[in-house]
């Protein structure tokens, strides 16, 4: 099994937006993301 590298949340969030996720709602630092065909995800 390959080890996962540490990554800053800013880079992960940017990658999620690039692959089709979009911001639905933000409260403080918590962001609720949405994407067609997927359940909402709190990031």
The pair of three-digit structure tokens given for residue 29, joined into one six-digit string: 């630092």
Give tens-digit pLDDT for 1-37.
577 788 898 999 999 999 999 999 999 999 999 999 9
User: Where do the domains of the chain lie?
Assistant: 9-42
Name beta bridge partners: 15: none
> Is residue 40 over pLDDT 70?
yes
> Is residue 43 over pLDDT 70?
yes
Residue 22's pLDDT is 97
Residue 18's pLDDT is 96
pTM for the whole structure: 0.77
Distance between CA 8 and CA 12 in Å, rounded? 7
Distance between CA 5 and CA 24 in Å, rounded? 28
């Amino acid at each position: 099994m390959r080890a996962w590298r540490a990554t800053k949340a800013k880079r992960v969030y940017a990658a999620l937006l690039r692959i089709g996720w979009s911001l639905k709602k933000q409260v403080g630092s918590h962001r609720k993301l949405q994407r067609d065909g997927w359940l909402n995800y709190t990031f």
